[in-house]
Amino acid sequence: MTDTHDTVGKDFIRQIIIADNASGKHDGNVVTRFPPEPNGYLHIGHVMSICLNFGIAREFNGRCYLRFDDTNPVKEDQDFVDSIMADVRWLGFDWEDRLTHASDYFDGIYDCAIKLIEDGKAYVDSLSAEQIREYRGTLTEPGKNSPHRERSIDMNLDLFRRMRAGEFADGVHVLRAKIDMAAANMNLRDPALYRIRKVNHQRTGDAWGIYPMYDFAHTVSDALEGITHSLCTLEFEDHRPLYEWILDNLDLPNRPRQIEFSRLNVAYGITSKRKLAALIEDGLVSGWDDPRMPTVAGMRRRGYTSQSIRNFVCNAGVTKKDKLIEMGALENCVREDLNENAPRVMAVLNPLKVVFLNYPEGGTELLAAANHPNRPELGSRDIPFGREIFIEHDDFMADPPRKFFRLRPEGEVRLRYGYIIKCVDVISDEAGNITEVHCTYDPDTKSGRPGAERKVKGTIHWVSASESVAVKVRLFDRMFTVANPDANRDGKTVTDFINPNSLDVVNEARVEPALVGMEPGAHVQFERLGYFVIDAKDSKPGHPVFNRVVTLRDSWAKIEKAQLAEI
């Protein structure tokens, strides 16, 4: 345990906490909470909050609650509660016995409302929602008082109790804080505290017909729970005066401080639960866990590791500046993790048959292949080789450009973990498509054999034609065509920016036979192609489905692009 925290390099929130601890503000206690509303799946934006709240609790020997903000039963669902818990755990955090719900505090919150009414600081308004909106004024004009604003305390108490008793229909009355209808901050123009919602709540059933609004429920829950630092995103900055007002006007056991930080956005993605839900409803993705979705569940299925996501979020930092982080930063984090940990295997996405004219008919042999070039302790495996193999179609060009190091007519190339081969003939169909390549192999160049070190420019991956297995592979691309689809532009919505090519399914990819026995969720690197994961949902025993997490860095692609630009 270290108490000599240096603030240098620490984000502004940690600096505040360090200062609070130094001044003894909360007797050195640090209590945070991650308060999701169970109305959707967690996305990459939430991960920031999770890492911050749980991370800070861990670093400062504090505690972090997982508190479901379940104050609006019409939008919330137990399925979302379950997915959120699974995601938080998967991300590596533990709330231990600190799983709570705003609904756990409904009694206390109700008591707070009564107290405000008794003190003349809240009143029951009977204006319609539309009327309240009209009375609220605009950004530049003050609002005006509701005709019900000066109801007696007794009448307010009576009305509010009857609201609770279920005597009124939805929308008939609402409890409002009595603050200032002329406040420049709209949140202070007598904000609603309670509304009537005669619906069943997923936890409290029909015990309540009224539910507290976010600002009220959240503030009181924070105080009741003993939260010291209530961390939230920037859009709640305008709510802080209301948060303070609630705290000021109630006798709560603790005074938390709200601190706001900016949300994390990733380019070419969206982090709006409403918009993500719309993608599902419109059938543009298969669900919350579609591998293209920026949800935790989607990213997990896509193959992003928990570690890589945490690193990404951590690298992004905590500030108050709007951020739109390049996808490359996220990709770098997975590559970093998977480069270290994913075993290497060979697979061919777009097979081109190669026949070795000088290799015996029906002959086969096993070649030793390292599971990880930089980590010999991970061992090796034997892969079958024979007279016919498949190579990647892209690795052969009849008329190649400059600097193309792969197979070409009369050219030589090394087969990864195998022989050096030479192209002697190219077979095409009537349409001119190359259908097969004939080669000779050089027996003296078998990988690992002394004297086999002859150098050739290129090494390509391959798979035995007879022993390899056909599998389905899914290649993903960015979900949207623009970096910030969330930004409003000319009335277009996010669906206007959908990338029609975000999913490419390869039904007949060929892989080493050993891959068929791997567990769903396992990560591998297909050499020269990228990192892949065995889909945990669509794979069946004996029939794995592979998702491409991310490609390898590809400097050839850059050269190719540069050459095209020259023309």
In sequence order, which ranges of 306-459 are alpha helices (DSSP H)? Answer: 306-316, 327-341
Residues 206-245 touching RNA, rule: CB under 7 A, are 211, 213-215, 217-218, 234-239
Residue numbers 5-44 binding RNA by CB under 7 A: 7-12, 15, 35, 37
Query: Alpha carbon of 523 to those of 301, 366, 512, 536: distances in Å?
Result: 11, 24, 15, 11
Closer residue to RNA in complex, CB, 406/539: 406
Query: Binding to RNA (CB under 7 A): which residues in 493-552?
Result: 525, 527-528, 552
Please state, in angstroms and rounded to a whole number, the distance separating the CA atoms of residues 552 and 302. Answer: 15
Place of tokens 């308060």: 35
> CB of 291: closest distance to RNA in angstroms?
21
* Complex with RNA: residue 460 or 465, whichever CB lies closer: 460
Over the window 287 to 316, marking each residue x when it contacts RNA by CB under 7 A and - when it does not, the resulting string is ----------------------------xx
For residue 389, give the 3-state DSSP assignment.
Answer: strand
Catalytic residue flag (residue 302)? no
For residue 355, the SS3 value is strand
Interaction between residue 487 and RNA (CB under 7 A): yes
164, 176, 240, 273: the catalytic one is 273
Residue 443 in contact with RNA, rule: CB under 7 A = no
Residue from 161, 320, 353, 393 touching RNA (CB under 7 A): that is 320
Q: How many residues sit in the footprint of RNA (CB under 7 A)? A: 100
| Residue number with CB closer to RNA (93 or 168) | 168
Has 273 been annotated as catalytic? yes
Among 403, 492, 537, 543, binds RNA (CB under 7 A): 403
List helix spans (H) across 303-400: 306-316, 327-341
Half-sphere exposure of residue 151, counting CA atoms within 13 Å on the CB side? 25
The verdict on 191 binding RNA (CB under 7 A) reads yes
Whether 37 is a known active-site residue: answer yes
Instruction: Please say which residue, 248 or 543, places its beta carbon nearer to RNA.
Output: 248
User: What span, in angstroms and rounded, lies between the C-alpha atoms of 542 and 534?
Assistant: 12
CB of 542 to RNA, least distance (A): 26
Residue located via tokens 């009741």 = 224
Asked if residue 437 lies in contact with residue 407, where contact means CB atoms within 8 angstroms, the answer is: yes
Question: Which member of 154, 248, 282, 322 binds RNA (CB under 7 A)?
Answer: 322
Which of 196, 246, 437, 475 touches RNA (CB under 7 A)? 196
Provide, rounded to whole angstroms, the least separation between the CB of residue 81 and RNA. Answer: 13
Given the residues 25, 37, 275, 336, the one annotated as active site: 37
Alpha-carbon 341 to chain mean position:
21
Of 326, 311, 271, which is closest to residue 293 (Cα–Cα)? 271
* Residue 562 near residue 406 (C-beta atoms within 8 A): no
Q: How many CB atoms within 10 Å of residue 256?
A: 23
Which of 144, 150, 222, 160 shows the shortest CA–CA distance to 194?
Answer: 160
Q: Which is nearer to RNA, 10 or 25 (CB)?
A: 10
What element of type H or E holds 248?
Answer: helix 240-248
Residue among 300, 344, 474, 548 that touches RNA (CB under 7 A): 344
Beta carbon of residue 526, minimum distance to RNA (angstroms, whole number): 8
* Residues β-bridged to residue 469: 511
Q: Does 185 bind RNA (CB under 7 A)?
A: yes
Q: How far apart are CA 451 and CA 461, in angstroms?
A: 22
Q: Segment near RNA (CB under 7 A), from 133-141, 154-162, 200-208, 497-505? A: 133-141
Of 263, 320, 323, 381, the active-site residue reads: 263
Residues 366-395 that bind RNA (CB under 7 A): 372-374
Residue 488 or 507 having the CB closest to RNA:
488
Cβ proximity of 536 and 474 under 8 Å: no
Contact 470, 510 (CB under 8 A): yes
The catalytic site residues sit at 37, 263, 273
